[in-house]
Amino acid sequence: APAVGTHTPSPLPSMGEIADPVQLKEEGNKHFQAGEIDKAIECYTKAIKFSKDKKALAVIYRNRSACFLKKENYNNAVSDATKAIDVDAADIKALYRRCQALEKLGKLDMAFKDVQRCATLEPKNKTFLETLRRLGAEIQLKVMIISVKIHIFLSKTEQHVSREDAGAERIFQNNGVPLLVQLIDTGKPDMILAAIRTLSGMCTGHRARATAVTHTVGISKLCSIMAVDNEEIVLATANMLQCVYDSLSGGDKRNYGKEEALVLDSSKDLKDILLALLEMITSKKVSGHGRDQALNLLSKNVPRKDKKNTDNTKALFTIDHGLKKILKVCGQVPDLPDQLPLTENTQLIASVLLNKVYDDLRCDPERDNFRDICDEYIKSKFDPNDMDKNIHAINTLSGLLQGPFDVGNVLAGRQGVMEMMVALCGSEREVDQLVAVEALIHASTKTSKASFFISNGVTLLKDMYKKTKNEKIKIRALVGLCKLGSAGGDDYSMRQFAEGSTEKLAKQCRKWLCNPTLDVRTRKWAIEGLAYLTNDADVKDDFVDDEAAMRAMFELTQSKDKTILYAVACTLVNCTNSYDKKEIIPEMVQLAKFSKQHVPEQHPKDKKDFIVRRVKKILKAGVTSALTVMVKADNYVLTDQTKEMLARVFLALADDIKDRGTIVAQGGGKALIPLALEGTDKGKIKASHALAKIAAVSNPEIAFPGERIYEVVRPLVSLLNTERDGLENFEALLGLTNLAALNDKLRVKILKEKALPEIENYMFEEHDQIRQAATECMCNLVCCKEVQDRYLEDGNDKLKLLILLCGEDDVQLQRAAAGALAMLTAAQKKLYCGRTMWLEIIQRLCIHDNPEIQHRGLVTVFNMLDADEQLAKKLIECELLEILTFVAKLEDNPKKQDAINAARACLSRALDSGLIKPFSN
């Protein structure tokens, strides 16, 4: 019972008992204000059921719409608000709620209309005006994104180049650049990426647009975008800056009429870009990826493309404004605090840039200035009271030794440098010892020039290797000793270490290589050691027998640290013996011995049988897949020298015809194409030869799928000149024969590469196999109308020469020449082959023992009978009629049936022409 004096309120009726819509609405309002959204929806739903008044019903729908907004049920919110608006089109609350729900559903244009109506009804309402402004901007961005996506799609499709440029121009003319800047300012990675790619499309090959974009967006803003820690955005921005630079520097030769005339001198913009990039490389606000791309852009655009060009002002400009900044990057020690953000590859890229800039210098005063700036920079960092500055100086020296080695070697001999290294080697800090040892290793790279370090550094390395217990330092000291110990190369008589020592060192390197607990940077040095130790054939054999070590090396090629690629390539070149070898002439050997000169000796395990065995082992371990991954590395890490070594390895692997299928199956065919198109001259030749070996025996459509097949033509044609050896000529011709057999587009591509004159020359080469391969290639090319027209040009003897080849004794040569002649006579009706000697050759073809040659000869006769009445008459008047009659009367024989049918067709043609008559019965 309730206490005396208290009041007990009457209980609320349950909702099941309420039938009054007004009361239900009020209950719903109370629940909504209390945050009980589900109960409020229940009340409003009941009220809707019992309500008969349209205006009251509209209010309830509007209120339930607010509940659905809170529940993020936007479709129901739109539906209820719409029902309220249907009753009262000026219901401002319902309009705004529908606007909010439509915005959440991504229907910005519909939401914009609703809030626009709200702002019309209450023009001073700040909420409505702010929403109107915001939605307008979002709609504009959405339209821009759609345009961007269309543009990107078109840019990815080669056949829509004209449409792509039209799209870029349309975006540009419709105030597109400021809108793209707004897209960048959203800070959303996908929008930034889309905007940057569109700007790249606008700038590519169009100087006027590139200038406008540069001035609108600003070089500093572009550099700030490239500074972010997002690799995809960094790469896209670097590509855009390269497009801008190419367009401004006049790399594009297209004429844009009046627009081009409006562009002023762009030299200032080009200098501003270089200065901005130089500023980036030492900024702490720039990410490691951004720094890499800034260095990469400098490497691409500063050195001269052609040394014949005397203008190297860009290199001098870079030295004056940025050499010390590049040196600062080289000297960074990631293990110390307060260093610039770097990737695993940054310091190597900086060394490559230093090397390219130094190589670009034209005279001694320029080189002296470069060396003096480097010398001054390193000296300024030596400080007896600051060990961090000292190791920065030594690390900078390491960078120079990896780049312009001559400069580094000279500076390494300066007073105080060796003393500093000794001090660092004796330091208790691991980082000091690591920096010192790595500097010693780089200094001993070229033993012929590093005499200073050979005489002073060996003792240091030996002491560190014996005394230290730190694996990281031990392995680096070992690599330095390996470098110094491999000075004799593969000369068996100049072994630097005692018998068995190199095998022991290599075994230790393999042990480190296979140790997953060591970091990638340390394991990389194990491969560096093997790169030198594998000059010894005993080490090569042991290494290829250790499949686990090889697989560990291949796995490391997939790590982010791409500085490892050069050492892997060196190791593989040594193991496959694919380096250049001096030809040993017995007479010269005797002369050298007589004059007491050194004569190189070959290791017993460097003979052909051992090399073949090693190649098989390496293939089995999965080397092709590793090489394919290496080729895909960025160009600024994959140097031309590394590309050349990879090409050498591929050529060695493709030597045995049985292994070429494995290479193709693991993607080797595709990987060889970029190696054949870029790099050193020697590297391109090696890669082209490997491509020729594959194309000669494989189905090109499988080996080089898709559009890549057309890229193979140029490398093969490059092997068709007198400077290449006979094997390269022969296999290139075989490869082109296979390509020419596929389709007319490939045949036209071969002609565009100007291969036809070379192939014609080889058709009369003294070497039988080369002559045969060239004729077979021509046999496929004559399917092309352009080649047929060349054979019919007035005043040339090409057809005569082809008929003479049909008269050669070589069966394979006859077969190819006869096939070409048969196709020519089928395609071209106006052929004159009526000389007695020619007729004799054709008769010989028609009675040839080889059914294929006989068939081709008889087809040629059929074509000639069909070509010209006078020629046909001459053919029938000679002994050819007897041959045709004899062959036609032969009994059916599967082996000769094609020839028999052709002979019968010839007699039928002669009969139809009235040249012969049947015997009367």
Contact 514, 508 (CB under 8 A): no
Burial degree of 556 (CB within 10 A; 0-12, 13-18, 19+) = buried
Mean pLDDT check: name the lowest of 773-782, 807-816, 863-872. 863-872
Mean pLDDT of 66-84: 91
pLDDT of 910 over the 50 cut? yes
Distances (CA, A) of 269 to 213, 263, 418, 844: 12, 12, 44, 74
Q: What is the per-residue pLDDT across 847-857, written as a single tens digit (0 to 9) for each?
A: 888 888 889 88
User: What's residue 731's pLDDT?
Assistant: 92
The DSSP secondary structure of 409-421, one letter per residue, reads HHHHTSTTHHHHH
User: What's residue 327's pLDDT?
Assistant: 94
**The token pair that represents 251 in the structure block:** 């790399």
**pLDDT confidence tier of residue 593, bands split at 50, 70 and 90:** low
Please, which residues have CB within 8 angstroms of residue 133's CB and are 6 or more apart in sequence?
A: none
More confident residue, 485 or 350: 350
Q: Which of 788, 874, 781 is nearest to 830 (CA)?
A: 788
Helix (H) or strand (E) holding 14: none
Mean pLDDT of 610-634: 89
More confident residue, 200 or 688: 688
Please, which residues have CB within 8 angstroms of residue 353's CB and are 6 or more apart in sequence?
A: 295, 298, 299, 302, 326, 403
Burial degree of 793 (CB within 10 A; 0-12, 13-18, 19+) = exposed
Q: What is the per-residue pLDDT across 318-375, written as a single tens digit (0 to 9) for each?
A: 999 999 999 999 999 988 888 999 998 899 899 999 999 999 998 999 999 999 999 9
Q: Which long-range contacts (CB under 8 A, 24 or more apart) does 796-801 make?
A: 798/760, 799/824, 799/831, 799/833, 800/838, 801/763, 801/764
User: What's residue 283's pLDDT?
Assistant: 93
User: What's residue 7's pLDDT?
Assistant: 36
**pLDDT confidence tier of residue 14, bands split at 50, 70 and 90:** very low
pLDDT of 598 over the 60 cut? no
User: What's residue 67's pLDDT?
Assistant: 93
Q: Which of 402, 342, 366 is nearest to 528 (CA)?
A: 402
The DSSP secondary structure of 854-899, one letter per residue, reads HHHHHHHHHHHHHH-HHHHHHHHHSTHHHHHHHHHTSPP-TTTHHH
Distances (CA, A) of 702 to 662, 667, 695: 12, 10, 10
User: What's residue 602's pLDDT?
Assistant: 65
User: What's residue 52's pLDDT?
Assistant: 80
Q: What is the per-residue pLDDT across 277-286, written as a single tens digit (0 to 9) for each?
A: 999 999 999 9
**pLDDT confidence tier of residue 154, bands split at 50, 70 and 90:** very low
Mean pLDDT check: name the lowest of 37-41, 626-630, 825-829. 825-829
Mean pLDDT check: name the lowest of 136-150, 434-448, 647-661, 883-897. 136-150
Domains belonging to the chain, first-starting first, are 21-144 (1.25.40.10), 163-255+264-302 (1.25.10.10)
Q: Which of 833, 767, 770 is nearest to 797 (CA)?
A: 833
pLDDT of 485 over the 70 cut? no
**pLDDT confidence tier of residue 765, bands split at 50, 70 and 90:** confident
pLDDT of 517 over the 60 cut? yes
* pTM of the model as a whole: 0.69
Residues in the chain: 921
**pLDDT confidence tier of residue 828, bands split at 50, 70 and 90:** low
DSSP 499: T
For all residues of the chain together, what is the average pLDDT? 82
Please, which residues have CB within 8 angstroms of residue 97's CB and are 6 or more apart in sequence?
A: 62, 65, 66, 69, 77, 81
Contact 344, 287 (CB under 8 A): no
Mean pLDDT of 10-15: 41
Q: Which of 497, 479, 472, 491 is nearest to 441 (CA)?
A: 479
More confident residue, 884 or 691: 691
Q: Which residue has the tokens 């290139």?
A: 732
Backbone angles phi, psi at 907, to 5 degrees: -65, -40
User: What's residue 559's pLDDT?
Assistant: 84
Q: What is the per-residue pLDDT across 662-672, written as a single tens digit (0 to 9) for each?
A: 899 888 888 99
Q: What is the per-residue pLDDT across 434-484, written as a single tens digit (0 to 9) for each?
A: 888 888 777 766 544 445 555 666 777 777 777 788 888 888 888 877 776
